[in-house]
Amino acid sequence: MNILIIDDEINICFTLKGILEDEGYSCFLDHNGKDGLNTIESLHPDLVILDVKLEGMNGIEVLKKIKHFDVNIEVIMISGHSGISEAVQAIKLGAYDFLEKPLTLPKVKFSVKKALEFKNINQHYKRFRASENEKYEIIGSGEKIKEIKNIIRKVATSKAKVLIRGESGSGKELIAYAIHNNSSRAEKAFIKFNSAAIPTELVESELFGFEKGAFTGAIKSRKGKLEEADGGTLFLDEIGDMSLSAQAKILRVIQEGEFERIGSNKTQKIDARIIAATHKNLEKMVEEGLFREDLFYRLNVVPIYNPPLREHPEDIPILIEHFSKIFAGELNFSQKIFLPDAIRELQTWEFKGNIRELKNMIERIYILAETDKIGADDIPIRSAKKAKTDWIFWLETSPFSIKKKEFEKKYLTAQLSKFDNNISQTAKALDLHQSNLSRKLKELDIKV
């Protein structure tokens, strides 16, 4: 750990240097603000011990410049003449501590130790946040993904309720996290709750918490997911699987911002943003009496449709690259190269499991494939999957006009992919006028 001491009293500098080097730190000295800032630019120290009273540029000004240069450098201010106002100002500007002269050795060593521990914890937290953000990153550059990102950007800054619709595995949780991470609640908790993953009789106790003795087995009180999300965001995944009783309680939370734990008469106030998601047809469930109509309209303020992967195959190459980097790192393998024929093959797949299915496939390829260059023949269960898709398409009976349109769409999508979505090259290869091809793409709603 490198420590820079900036003080115009030479004796104090050498005393601090001796004490801290005995503790195993590397220490450097400067006697004015200008020289200290030059050293900071070249050394990037972990910690700066900075006197308030310096000739030319005072310590408060130096502190401002240090934090502007690198907010991660911890600073301990020292002074023999400053008042409370300067100490408060220094802490507000980002100083870790403020010590008064004459300095006591135990206090200096304690403050330095705690400042460096704080720096270490802060760095770990930032790495954790960065890894979380990477894990939840929405990958894709197609028009549908751009549209979703645009909605996220707009809705994140508001308090509006959001209902995310889409098939399982399409990435609804990523959208919910992106809304949270771009909101004023980003530093607070993002709590996930999946009604479909918990037995019906346990949903309310898990969600709202319970008091000791509320039911058999409740040997102590426990917070629910709702309390854990206080100040942050509660993501209610698969809300279509929630019981009517739990729906009524969630409606009350949305309307009044309050609830009670199971077994308690004490009403608690809560401030949690609620984002819900489902793959079910809630409108139909409302008609059948399986989902509360008032809750549906409360949640469906800003609806977001997350398309299945088969509706944006143009993002498959980017997703393959993304997952390939992840598994190369996790499995400590060299990164595999997916050849164009493999990518084109995967772009024709239905992927009923959506992005989750693609991710699992890439992981399986990393574990099983013996080559670093992945072609179409290296894709697991390729022939079975293709045969199934072909069987469905060719043997399914439907009006000829509909089947003809499906064939044209499949064929032109595959050809465009083959020529990297270049309409001019595709038209030339298919012996079509470019204007005719463009018109046909518009007619079939094929976006390039």
User: What digits encode the pLDDT tens for the residues 49-58?
Assistant: 999 988 889 9
Question: How high does pLDDT run on average in the chain?
Answer: 90
Question: pLDDT by residue (tens digit) across 410-433?
Answer: 889 888 888 888 999 999 999 999
Task: Kindly give, in sequence order, each residue whose CB lies less than 8 Å from that of residue 437, ignoring residues fewer than 6 positions away.
Answer: 412, 423, 426, 427, 430
Task: Kindly give, in sequence order, each residue whose CB lies less than 8 Å from that of residue 186, ignoring residues fewer than 6 positions away.
Answer: 180
Residue type, 323: F
Closest CA to 115 of 78, 157, 164, 83: 78
Read off the pLDDT of each residue in 357-383 and give the average, rounded to a whole number: 86
Closest CA to 338 of 351, 350, 347, 329: 347
Going by pLDDT thresholds of 50, 70 and 90, the confidence category of residue 445 is confident
Residue 137 vs residues 36, 189, 289, 354: alpha-carbon distances, Å: 40, 17, 37, 16
Per-residue pLDDT, 406: 85
Whole-model pTM: value is 0.65
Q: Is the pLDDT of residue 39 over 60?
A: yes
DSSP bridge partners of 116: none
The larger pLDDT score, comparing residue 347 to residue 85, is at: 347
Sign of CA dihedral 351, 356, 360, 362: positive
Question: Which of 84-88, 266-270, 287-291 has the lowest average pLDDT?
Answer: 84-88
List, in order of start, the domains of the chain with CATH numbers.
Answer: 2-131 (3.40.50.2300), 143-307 (3.40.50.300), 329-443 (no CATH)
User: What count of other Cβ atoms lies within 10 Å of the Cβ of residue 110?
Assistant: 12
Per-residue pLDDT, 384: 43
Going by pLDDT thresholds of 50, 70 and 90, the confidence category of residue 338 is very high
Between CA 279 and CA 344 the distance in angstroms is 28
Per-residue pLDDT, 294: 96
Question: pLDDT by residue (tens digit) across 196-228?
Answer: 888 888 899 999 999 988 888 888 889 999 999
Q: Is the pLDDT of residue 382 over 60?
A: no
Per-residue pLDDT, 123: 85
Question: pLDDT by residue (tens digit) across 304-323?
Answer: 999 999 999 999 999 999 99
Per-residue pLDDT, 224: 92
